[in-house]
Amino acid sequence: MLVVPLVLWLLPNSPGTCRFLTPRENEIAAARVVTVESIAAAEAGGKKKGLNFWQAFAALKDPMCYIYAFIIFTGNVSFSSISVFLPQSETLHFQSR
């Protein structure tokens, strides 16, 4: 928490306003951002940005989504149950060797 003000002061607001770059490097950085944004807009083909429901339904057909959900669910269940059942090991007089 002590580093937050320092980071907020050091991080630039945009690629064109970096204090640690030369004016020429700032121009190049700003031009690259404009280029990347224009390429992304061209690839989108002028389509509306946002959620495409057909892509969301396609994700439901992908088995990797279910495998990932299973891994996250089992990990969360096992880690959350540690705090529930660990204190009971003392009440059951469990001793490690």
Task: Report the candidate in 53, 56, 74 with the shortest Cα–Cα distance to residue 65.
Answer: 56
> What are the sequence ranges of the domains in the chain?
1-49, 51-97
Residue 54 to residues 44, 60, 61, Cα–Cα distance (Å): 16, 10, 11
- Three-state DSSP string of 3-66: CHHHHHHHCCCCHHHCCCCCHHHHHHHHHHHHHHHHHHHHHHCCCCCCCCHHHHHHHHCCHHHH
Higher pLDDT, 92 or 60: 60
Look at residue 16 and tell me whether its pLDDT is greater than 70.
Answer: yes
What mean pLDDT is predicted for residues 74-89? Answer: 76
Q: How confident is the model at residue 97 (pLDDT cuts 50, 70, 90)?
A: low
Using pLDDT thresholds of 50, 70 and 90, give the confidence band for residue 9: confident
